[in-house]
């Protein structure tokens, strides 16, 4: 008789527990459904993977760029002058002089590097040496077929206009806004590097 009462009581407790848990789960689900997702805040995603799996970067190149940027901006980093957005970057490797080695284009952003005309863009050697620091530049970078001093001419956008950039034997001009305006319509077949607005690029930080 005692055993029967004991098992009956335990069964009742088990049923009550299950009902309670189900109700709690339903309440939580209802609360989640009733609370809209916050889409107003935008956060910078660093060290991310591109959505479609293209434009992946070599780990060696990413680390090389990190070390170069830390050295270039060491003083300002130590003074905490760079916010988190300004300490992020995207990169693309491209052989601009047909020597079999790829130079590294690094696009920076954030208030430290950007103004009304564009942002800072770096061209690094395959070994990480700074070749040209472009100012007020918008993406993408268009690579022309013709070459000057063995290097591809580039089209850089600044303040809404395309400017023709030619290599002088050591570097490209640093300020696209004062370079000659390119008045032709560039063909769709030309390489467009760092076209972040239309293609997914992983973003890294330093």
> Number of helices (H) and strands (E), helices first, in the chain?
3, 8
CB 185 within 8 A of CB 162: no
Domain-located, residue 197 = yes
* Separation CA 19–CA 44 (nearest Å): 43
CA 186, 189, 191, 196 dihedral sign is positive
Domain-located, residue 166 = yes
pLDDT top residue among 200 and 91: 91
Mean pLDDT of 3-22: 40
CA 192, 97, 65, 163 dihedral sign is negative
Domain-located, residue 81 = yes
**pLDDT level of residue 200 (50, 70, 90 thresholds):** confident
Domain-located, residue 126 = yes
| Number of domains the chain contains | 1
**pLDDT level of residue 130 (50, 70, 90 thresholds):** very high
Residue 72 has which token pair?
């270039």
Domain-located, residue 44 = no
pLDDT of the residue at 175:
96
- What pTM was computed for the model? 0.75
Q: Is 50 exceeded by the pLDDT of residue 156?
A: yes
Residue 183 has which token pair?
């008045």
The residue range of the domain holding 170 is 59-205
* Separation CA 199–CA 59 (nearest Å): 20
Which pLDDT tens digit goes with each residue over 32-83? 333 333 333 333 445 554 444 467 789 999 999 999 999 999 999 999 999 9
Q: Which residue do the tokens 């030619």 mark?
A: 166
Residue 68 phi, psi (nearest 5): -65, -45
CB 206 within 8 A of CB 82: no
pLDDT of the residue at 46:
52
Which ranges in the chain belong to alpha helices (H)?
Answer: 2-34, 59-72, 74-78
**pLDDT level of residue 3 (50, 70, 90 thresholds):** very low
Q: Is 80 exceeded by the pLDDT of residue 103?
A: yes
């Amino acid at each position: 008789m005692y055993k029967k009462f004991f098992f009956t009581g335990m069964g009742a407790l088990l049923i009550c527990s299950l009902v309670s848990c189900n109700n709690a789960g339903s309440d939580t689900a209802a609360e989640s459904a009733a609370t809209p997702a916050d889409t107003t805040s935008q956060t910078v995603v660093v060290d991310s993977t591109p959505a479609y799996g293209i434009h992946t970067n070599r780990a060696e190149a990413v680390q090389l760029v990190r070390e170069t940027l830390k050295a270039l901006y060491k003083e300002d980093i130590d003074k905490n002058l760079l916010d988190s957005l300004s300490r992020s970057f995207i990169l693309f490797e491209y052989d601009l002089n047909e020597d079999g080695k790829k130079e590294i284009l690094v696009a920076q952003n954030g208030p430290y590097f950007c103004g009304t005309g564009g942002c800072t863009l770096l061209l690094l050697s395959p070994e990480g040496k700074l070749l040209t620091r472009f100012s007020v530049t918008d993406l993408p970078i268009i690579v022309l077929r013709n070459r000057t001093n063995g290097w591809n001419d580039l089209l850089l956008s600044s303040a809404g206009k395309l400017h023709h950039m030619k290599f002088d034997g050591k570097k490209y001009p640093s300020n696209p806004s004062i370079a000659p305006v390119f008045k032709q319509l560039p063909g769709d077949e030309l390489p467009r590097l760092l076209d972040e607005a239309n293609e997914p690029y992983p973003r890294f930080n330093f």
